[in-house]
Amino acid sequence: MKDQQKNINDLLCQALNVQIEQGLGEMIINPQAMMPGNDSKEPITVVEKSDNSIVISLDSNDDSVEPAQYDSLEEHYKDICQCQLCSLGKTRNNFVYGAGNPSADLMFVGEAPGRDEDLKGEPFVGRAGKLLDKIIEAMQLKREDIYIANILKCRPPDNRDPLPEEMEKCFPYLKEQIHLIKPKIICALGRIGAQALLNTKTPLGRLRKIWHRVEGIPTLVTYHPAALLRFQKYKKDTWEDMQLIMA
Ligand code: SF4
């Protein structure tokens, strides 16, 4: 099985190298072809960008990005900040919309607010948030340069995992934020956020190091900063993912 996957990877690399040498802009691999871990059974699209970076799309989103329904993030926020679409609306202290540069090139997406975020009404302000700040600094960026949001805008009680029905109800809000911000790159933080964003059940380890697309935007998956606080060994992998983004 491992040999088979290696062969597929080798063939894919060869095909991409030929593509780059020929200077062709776009390649669609056999639409019926499946990548290991592509549970969605969707076509794989490989696009070579003008800077020779390569985007491999495994998700069902195509390039036809819907236009934003609102004129600004403020207008959107005002319209949804009293949301009671799911039961989390009753238990939250604060609605955590998102924060950062409304024209950011890079957007981080996590899963849901935790205790500190719920109390402050801001995403990533607890210990995990401080670690994310350090990662952003190491990327030679500041928080004001990027935008941070979550799939859910309200804290699940006791920091339990978000329920599928909660994410389904809340996801359109994030989509609208993406349409308004139009980042060049999205970075999904952690398994739950990544799986919700990419509409897949593929484990995080197999989602990393591949450029996906969300609403037509190149998207990379890495570990959640909270996981880095628990497991130091993920720090090196996370930094490699950040270097891919910077490149
Ligand atoms: S989590 Fe999302 S859908 Fe549920 S109440 Fe909060 S904003 Fe509304």
Of 76, 79, 88, which is best to mutate to test ligand 1, by the most ligand atoms within 8 angstroms of its C-beta? 88
Looking at residue 96, its pLDDT comes to: 98
Give the Å distance between the CA of 175 and the centre of ligand 1.
14
Q: Looking at residue 52, what is its pLDDT?
A: 47
Q: Looking at residue 7, what is its pLDDT? A: 52
Other C-beta atoms closer than 10 Å to the C-beta of 26 total 11
Assess whether 16 and 92 both reside in one domain.
no
Same domain, residue pair 211 and 129: yes
Residue 62 domain-assigned? no
pTM here is: 0.78
At 128, which helix (H) or strand (E)?
helix 127-138
Q: Which two tokens stand for residue 17?
A: 């190298």
Q: Which two tokens stand for residue 98?
A: 């998102």
196 CA distance to ligand 1 centroid (A)? 15
What is the domain extent for residue 123? 73-246
Asked if 38 and 77 sit in the same domain, the reply is no
Give residues (CB < 6 A) around ligand 1: 83-86, 88-89, 152-154, 166, 169-170
Q: Which pLDDT value is given to residue 65? A: 65
Count Cα atoms within 13 angstroms, Cβ side, for 167: 18
**Residue 227, CA distances (Å) to 39, 50, 224 in order:** 24, 35, 5
Q: How many domains does the chain have?
A: 2
Query: For residue 194, which of 220, 168, 226 has the smallest C-alpha distance?
Result: 220
Q: What is the pLDDT of residues 56-79, one digit of tens each?
A: 554 444 455 678 899 999 999 999
Instruction: Examine the domain organization and report whether 86 and 52 are in the same domain.
Output: no
What is the CATH classification number for the domain harbouring 77?
3.40.470.10
Residues of the chain scoring pLDDT < 70: 1-65
Whose CA is closest to atom 1 on ligand 1? 154
Which pLDDT score is estimated for 159? 87
Whether residues 101 and 206 share a domain: the answer is: yes
On the CB side of 107, how many CA atoms lie within 13 Å of its CA?
Answer: 29
- Whether residues 91 and 48 share a domain: the answer is no
Q: Probe ligand 1: pick from 84, 87, 150, 160, max atoms within 8 Å of CB?
A: 84
Is residue 210 one of the residues assigned to a domain? yes
